Amino acid sequence: MSRVLVVNSGSSSLKYAVVDADSGDTMADGIVERIGEGEIPDHAAALQVVFDELADDMAGLVAVGHRVVHGGPDLYEPTLVDDALVAKLVELSSLAPLHNPPALLGIEVARRALPGLPHIAVFDTAYFHDLPPAAATYAIDRDIATRWNIRRYGFHGTSHRYVSERAAVFLGAPLDSVRQIVLHLGNGASASAIDGGRPVDTSMGLTPMEGLVMGTRSGDIDPGVITYLWRTAKMSVEDIESMLNRRAGMLGLGGEIDFRVVRERIESGDASAQLAYDVYIHRLRKYIGAYLAVLGSVDVITFTAGVGENDTVVRRDALSGMSALGIELDEQLNVEPSKAARRISAVSSRTTVLVIPTDEELAIARACARLVSELR
């Protein structure tokens, strides 16, 4: 039995799961929200809530796995947390000021609470560490990029890795023989192009802001917009960053991030919800087209995460009119409700289209269990 407590610590929420890495079973999971308000003043209090809820499920843990968003230039293997790693993560906070500090807090309170267990950091950037230089490099001054560690890092890597491995298993094909596009569409959203198990491009960059339209993030934007807002509209850097991260995307355009509500609003004739949706789909289709060209041909396109797993209309609109490119959905299969990994493409489709539920907690638990057994 290799039970791992997986902790995903955000600024105001803490998601947790106890997962058996061998069987893949989740013994318990949940989320503590509204950290910093009222009853749960801080991450230490949140963790205490988790411990109270887990109670018996805490027995027999072999490790605590921490999801860390940004591993920077050097951290990409699952890494045992010690004081030196914590110091490195503190340094990295400048590269990911919105995402890494809460993970650090989670790590520090969990280490104090569970000092007898190995704590392991698993990085969201890891999978994309070896992106081809042509995909990883911004066309900016080389010296500045090097000095400030500016490259395209990519995020959601744990999910892209897990889902692409499962897609190959689903197809019954060796991973190294399959060309894939993975569309991770949750509140955060990213696409990746994977050639034979090796990611060759992904839509997020230095930070998780680049690429697709997301719940609250703009995705791709002309950097000129930022300097214009700063110089002419006199917005501060903090305001611009906060706007692009928290008040942009579906929220900024249509006032709502939940696609179920967006759909209702569109049906009741709300023009801003319609525009938000249209921008979202347009961007998604552009990335699919781009990755088709990057890969040359695509064996499988997989939808995953909250929107990708559940929103049949997004899936339909993302891929409509692409039969000349060898991509055809089966309308019936697309709308059949299921929680399982499944095919939704037509038999005649050259590219197989799948829906595969992501399971980042299981993937993190497995990575931790592997490291623990190597350290023994």
Positions annotated as catalytic residues are 124
Shortest Cβ 375–ligand ADP spacing (Å): 30
| Tokens representing residue 87 in the block | 């110091």
DSSP lists the bridge partners of residue 193 as 181, 201
Binding region for ligand ADP (CB under 6 A): 186-188, 215, 257-260, 305-307, 310-311
Output the residue with the shortest Cβ distance to ligand ADP. Answer: 306
The SS3 assignment for 313 reads helix
What minimum distance in Å lies between the beta carbon of 66 and ligand ADP? 16
Q: What is the 3-state secondary structure (H, E, C) of 255-304?
A: CCCCHHHHHHHHHCCCHHHHHHHHHHHHHHHHHHHHHHHHHCCCCEEEEE
Provide the minimum distance between the beta carbon of 6 and ligand ADP in the complex, in angstroms, as a whole number.
13
Please name every residue paired with 29 in a beta bridge, in sequence order, or none if there are none: 17
- Shortest approach of ligand ADP to residue 262 CB, angstroms? 7
Q: Residue written as tokens 């706007």? A: 243
What's the count of helices (H) and strands (E) in the chain, helices before strands?
15, 12
* 3 state SS of 15: strand
Q: What are phi and psi of 193, to 5 degrees?
A: -110, 125
* Cα-based distances in Å from 331 to 98, 305, 315: 40, 20, 10
- Separation of alpha carbons 344 and 347, rounded Å: 9
Question: What is the nearest approach in angstroms of ligand ADP to the Cβ of residue 357?
Answer: 10
Q: How far is the CB of 158 from ligand ADP (least distance, A)?
A: 12
Which residue number, 179 or 217, has a Cβ lying nearer to ligand ADP?
A: 217
368/6 Cα distance (integer angstroms): 9
Q: Report d(CA 114, CA 69) in Å as an integer.
A: 22
Smaller CB separation from ligand ADP, 365 or 371: 365
Nearer to ligand ADP, 307 or 355 (CB): 307
3-state SS class at 74: coil
